[in-house]
Amino acid sequence: MNYEEKVFFEVVNNIKIFCTLLEPENNQKKIVIMNHGFRGSSIGPARTFVDFSRLLGKEGYSVLRFDQANSANSEGDYINSSFREWVETTKYFALKYLNLGYQITLLGHSLGGAVAIITATETELKDKIKCLFLWAPGDYEAQNNIDSEEMYEQKGYRFKGKFLNEVKKARVKKCLKNYQGGIHLVFGESDKYINEESRNEFKKIVESKGEDYMVLPGQDHSDWEFKWAQRVYEEEIKKLKKYL
């Protein structure tokens, strides 16, 4: 199926958000909204969001990719990033497309996965998000002694500790337990950012709901080998056909 991609800025909470919307020729009003992770962007790690969105377009699904406030091409400085603002931005887009009559799946990588979980369980969206695709989600619940006002730096990105404390306060795993839709969870076997204990806790929650998860042999937190990324896409397209 043919599709069209449109690039634009949309003002959300007074910040210009960079967006790419892919719409299939025969619009079925089914959309996947993709959330990048910490220090990420709307292309996804190793361009996975771009590749997957175009496969989804060929299958008849719409896709919205966007850079969170203060990230990548969006307005603002990274140092002012707020996890709660990320949730509010994702909620804005979810509500927008719900009001346009779309069925919605939220996809998130890393802390974008946490954003997807929290957004799906917000009061305004309760029981309205059909499915969650969670790629190596994190929650920082085991992290202690993070000063909200202190400046931290990772790989050239400076940020305040409040971002990570906002993640911790959100109680990501508790929210996932409360979510009632479809779930597809993916972790790399050798994820260097999400420890084995946390990965197993996420898997246990998903398993208890009778939902699906994948462990990718030898893979890290991101930048998965091409063949494994393709396998993830295949499984998640099957999931979409079941829930949307």
Q: Kindly state the average pLDDT of the residues 32-47.
A: 98
120-159 pLDDT per residue, tens: 999 999 999 999 999 999 998 767 788 999 999 989 999 9
Nearest to 134 by CA among 18, 29, 235: 235
Q: Is 180 helix (H, G, I), strand (E, B) or coil?
A: coil
Q: Judge whether residue 203 has pLDDT over 80.
A: yes
Q: What's the pLDDT band for 98 if we cut at 50, 70, 90?
A: very high
Tell me whether strands 15-24 and 30-35 are parallel, antiparallel or unpaired. unpaired
The candidate with the shortest Cα–Cα distance to 108, out of 131, 130, 129, 133, is 133
Q: Which pLDDT does position 144 carry in this prediction?
A: 75
Identify the pLDDT of residue 145.
Answer: 80
Q: What percent of the chain has pLDDT over 90?
A: 95
pLDDT at residue 142, rounded to an integer: 66
User: Would you place residue 204 in the very low, low, confident or very high pLDDT band (cuts 50, 70, 90)?
Assistant: very high
Dist CA 151 CA 158 (whole Å):
7
Domains along the chain? 3-243 (3.40.50.1820)
Say what the pLDDT of residue 141 is. 76
Coil, strand or helix: which one is 133?
Answer: strand
Q: What is the pLDDT of residues 223-234, one digit of tens each?
A: 999 999 999 999
Question: Whole-prediction pTM value?
Answer: 0.97
What percentage of residues in the chain have a pLDDT greater than 70? 100
